[in-house]
């Protein structure tokens, strides 16, 4: 059991697949931190940070009764980004948590899906990340991706209910229908 699991991402928008990963991560860690991107290292355009934080807080509150671990949304990436104009990488967040909490890095797990797990060695300080921290690989929910959800909404289509995150007001997804992907 990990002391902490870090689940980071754009969450642009959050969806049912993200919620499922949160629940699964909670089975493997005492505490799960959901960390939305503040300034994406690849320059990805995202909906306003505060909106995504609010959406994730609603989702985690809805999921918490089902979780065997504490589930919380963290502004860690925002704090790091505001202190330093450099890109914010997974390694930076993990190192900051290990230092702030005085935890051995192997007690902290980075939560990733299969696609990211295959790319980790190519991440910023990827080899060091893999040596110093643990990786918690969780299978993604097939067919549910933020990009597919955004495309569906931009076309004016109603996404299947199974794609929508619990606790997320379906009207919030309308933002993507108005502004596109």
- Domain limits at 123? 2-179
Mean pLDDT of 74-99: 94
| Distance from C-alpha of 171 to C-alpha of 153, rounded to nearest angstrom | 11
Structurally, the chain folds into a number of domains equal to 1
70-105: string of b/e by CB count within 10 Å (b at 16+)?
A: ebebbebbbebbeeeeeebbbbbbbbbbbeeeeeeb
pLDDT for residue 181 is more than 70: no
94/169: higher pLDDT? 94
State yes or no: pLDDT of 178 exceeds 80: no
Q: What is the CATH number of the domain that holds 80?
A: 3.40.50.620
């Amino acid at each position: 059991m990990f002391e902490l699991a870090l689940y980071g991402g754009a969450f642009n928008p959050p969806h049912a697949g993200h919620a499922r990963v949160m629940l699964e991560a909670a089975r493997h860690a005492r505490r799960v931190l959901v960390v939305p991107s503040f300034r994406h290292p690849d320059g990805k355009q995202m909906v306003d940070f505060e909106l995504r934080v609010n959406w994730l807080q609603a989702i985690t509150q809805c999921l918490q009764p089902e979780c065997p671990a504490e589930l919380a949304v963290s502004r860690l990436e925002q704090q790091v980004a505001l202190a330093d104009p450099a890109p914010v990488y997974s390694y930076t967040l993990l190192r900051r948590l290990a230092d702030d909490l005085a935890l051995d890095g192997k007690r902290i797990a980075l939560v990733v899906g299969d696609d990211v797990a295959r790319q980790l060695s190519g991440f910023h300080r990827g080899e060091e990340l893999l040596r110093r921290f643990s990786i918690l690989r969780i299978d993604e929910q097939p067919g549910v991706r933020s990009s597919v959800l955004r495309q569906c909404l931009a076309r004016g289509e109603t996404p299947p209910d199974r794609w929508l995150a619990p606790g997320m007001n379906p009207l919030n997804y309308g933002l993507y229908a108005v502004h596109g992907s």
